Structure 1
């Protein structure tokens, strides 16, 4: 194992063992390096690497702290990586969406508060009668993000959010080239919203599957 990797692993062990908790400040660099049997350079590289993936927060003039370790922070790195997708991998991202989003939608039907359900309907009502493709896609992203948050599972919500970028272009392509795509999207959104409001998780899951699968099937034919 490389020296820097060993340093990363030791800091990770301090966090996973509970020796360092979210929000805790790390010991001074010299003290921590001596304690872990590492050079200060190796420790510095490890801290820099862990800061890049939001495990540590380096505050100039103050010290280095463990972050909150919330899922949205830790999964930001994945969002950064998936932004490098190629067009031929979009189908793979849509396949993952087809697994995750119906599950999140079913959970939202059980866990969303009445106020959140009203807000979901308000998102749909905010869409103009004759939206542009860009307006529809923006509304689509808001709609699905709200449902993911309503699932009550922050990890699932963060995973779905990280997949939004790679599939946005496919949604725009479909809206521009497939006749009736915008009307289909609006209708499916209404059916999903109604199923959530009625607290019918199986129906909500089914409509979410149809919704994502529609984009996926269109892209398969197009490619």
Structure 2
């Protein structure tokens, strides 16, 4: 077989409800539905997407849990009117969890937020806030070493939110929280928990951010946060390309 004849590796299997959840988000964007707008029924969605109503119902459960869709018994499905900073009302249903360009934009936004938050935390963190950051990093580390992905994810969320809290800037706290919410959508719909090749390095990167904040070094804290976000994005980029493009 020549180089030109090499066959790309097969795209990994994805449960049908994940694929349909992503397709529903794309449909919301294509139809330019706004928060509060009524969506097609489950039967209409099933027909449009060539699947069963059962699969659509499971997809809707995911989207409801993520705050993107509201299901009212006897009344139908509606685009969520979540008023979060990056919610549907402000992004117009723009964010698609498995779209590589959207993930790049999310991480670019996170990089701006979290380098600023880490820089401020190095100046403003109280002893109690330092202990909270350290405890979150330890929870994340324990989750990784014990193979408990839920514990790892909780520690990871807590770590980034604790750093933002230590910045003493409530707008940064809100922005970091909303960006993490969108990232969870990517984890659940786009990757189904398969991202994690970077987890071991993330433990060390968290420790570097914590040390810089503890030592009161704003420049080092910002650099450590930037490195962590860049490496995490690379992990997502590889996985999305493997799943969506087959390489």
TM-score (norm 2): 0.54
CA displacement, residues 134-160 of structure 1 (integer Å, 9 cap, x when unaligned): 321221111000111111111121111
Structure 2: runs of 5 or more not aligned: 1-81, 242-247
Aligned pairs for 1:197-212 (under 5 A) are 197-212=214-229
CA displacement, residues 16-58 of structure 1 (integer Å, 9 cap, x when unaligned): xxxxxxxxxxxxxxxxxxxxxxxxxxxxxxxxxxxxxxxxxxx
Of residues 183, 187, 192 in structure 1, which corresponds to 2:204?
Answer: 187
CA displacement, residues 60-112 of structure 1 (integer Å, 9 cap, x when unaligned): xxxxxxxxxxxxxxx94324326942021122111110111111111001001
Contact 1:174–1:218 (CA under 8 A) maintained in structure 2: no
* Cα-Cα RMSD: 2.5
Structure 1: runs of 5 or more not aligned: 1-74
SS in 1 for 2:163: helix
Of residues 116, 120, 129 in structure 2, which corresponds to 1:103?
Answer: 116
Give the whole-Å Cα distance in 2 for the aligned partners of 1:112 and 1:177: 31
Aligned pairs for 1:1-223 (under 5 A) are 76-81=83-88, 84=93, 85-86=95-96, 87-88=98-99, 89-127=102-140, 128=142, 129-170=145-186, 173=191, 176-179=194-197, 181-221=198-238, 222-223=240-241
TM-score (norm 1): 0.59
Give the whole-Å Cα distance in 2 for the aligned partners of 1:76 and 1:150: 25
Shift of 1:118: 1.4
Give the whole-Å Cα distance in 2 for the aligned partners of 1:217 and 1:174: 17
Give the whole-Å Cα distance in 1 for the aligned partners of 2:127 and 2:179: 27
Please say which structure displays the higher CA radius of gyration.
1
Give the whole-Å Cα distance in 1 for the aligned partners of 2:133 and 2:181: 21
The structure 1 segments of at least 4 consecutive aligned residues displaced by more than 3 Å after TM superposition are 169-175
Contact 1:174–1:215 (CA under 8 A) maintained in structure 2: no
Q: How many residue pairs align between the two structures?
A: 148
